[in-house]
Amino acid sequence: MGVFSIFPSRASVAAGEVDALYTFLLVVGGAMTAIIFASVFFFAVRYRRKSPNDPAPKAIHGSLPLEIAWTVIPFLVMLVMFAWGTKLYFQNYTPPLHDTLDIYITGKQWMWKVQYPTGQREINELHVPTGSSVKLILASEDVIHSFFVPALRLKHDVVPGSYQTFWFEPKEPGRYHIFCAEYCGTGHSDMGGWMTVMTPADYENWLAGGANGGSMVELGGKLFQQYGCVTCHVTDHEGRCPSLLNVFGRPVVLDDGRTVMADEAYVRESILNPNAKVVKGYKHDIMPVFEGQISEEGLLQLIVYVKSLSPPTASPAKPAASAAKRSSK
């Protein structure tokens, strides 16, 4: 700190790409402004009325090639901005399908609560290793917040009732500010924290340090018993309820003919409001509505549990122990 810098430090691979686009916008915007102002002054001086008896200047009629040129060239430059911006947007807000390190963040007045799949929990602190694809799944317990880390050049509104995700690849170890960027009540300005980027080795040490309540899969598994999900989804053998094995991350056919992706938002909705999307071949109104009964953090644990029942086939690196246990029963 202390050294003046035009851009905040860059914590991720994509941050540099965002800055490159930003520089492009500044340079193009600056050049356009300079050209327009220089022309205004040049013409004002060059064609000024030099003496009171100068005749009125002769009107000049337009030139078609000139007009086409100054319409089409800026248009093409704007298209570059559009295409470049769209590419970066989709790149940053579309997490890879596999091998992500998923971290669950719940915003509430006025703090960020962070849960790791391995069971660690923190408030206003986020720890991530370099070289991995970190996917954040953001939820809100009350009002709209916005998760903002300037060093990532990423910001996402966190809207109650749904999940928002983005991802990044941490690059530079260090500590970076987290903010809430959406006015959310009197404590809004205190709602922030720190993201710590660590080397993979330091991160392993940090992980070994402190999960006391069990991993998210274990906690989710407990809730799965506690709320009776298990009685329908595992022990019911009459075929009234779908098996949750290998549901996550795959397309689901619904009874109205639509096909949806079983992502976090889908599982969340299936729990809170099961009748919104009913799986093809199953009945409405069998699964109870859990709206208002499970906390946001509990929901996330349930989702991680459901996720663990769908081990990624592509990467044998991370075995989902509980899924293996269940399918062998």
- Enumerate binding residues for ligand HEC (CB under 6 A): 227-229, 231-233, 240-242, 244, 247, 252, 262, 267, 270-271, 274, 278-279, 282, 286-288, 290, 302, 306
Cα 241 from Cα 137, distance rounded (Å): 27
- Which sign does the torsion angle of CA 127, 133, 138, 144 carry? positive
> Site for Cu ion (CB under 5 A): how many residues?
4
- Residue closer to ligand HEC (CB basis): 87 or 283: 283
- Residue closer to ligand HEC (CB basis): 195 or 217: 217
Cα 240 from Cα 252, distance rounded (Å): 17
Q: Which does 184 bind (CB under 5 to 8 A by kind): Cu ion, ligand HEC, none?
A: Cu ion
Selected binder of Cu ion within 10, 113, 127, 145 (CB under 5 A): 145
CB of 242 to ligand HEC, least distance (A): 4
CB of 191 to Cu ion, least distance (A): 4
Cα 10 from Cα 149, distance rounded (Å): 10
CB of 322 to ligand HEC, least distance (A): 14
Question: In Å, how far from its chain's centre is CA 5?
Answer: 27
Q: Which does 245 bind (CB under 5 to 8 A by kind): Cu ion, ligand HEC, none?
A: none
Cα 197 from Cα 64, distance rounded (Å): 57
CB neighbour class for 85 (10 Å; exposed up to 12, middle 13-18, buried from 19) = middle
- Residue closer to ligand HEC (CB basis): 206 or 282: 282
Closest CA to 112 of 141, 132, 134, 154: 141
Q: Which does 191 bind (CB under 5 to 8 A by kind): ligand HEC, Cu ion, none?
A: Cu ion
Q: With binding defined as CB under 5 A, does residue 233 bind Cu ion?
A: no
Closest CA to 179 of 168, 195, 203: 195
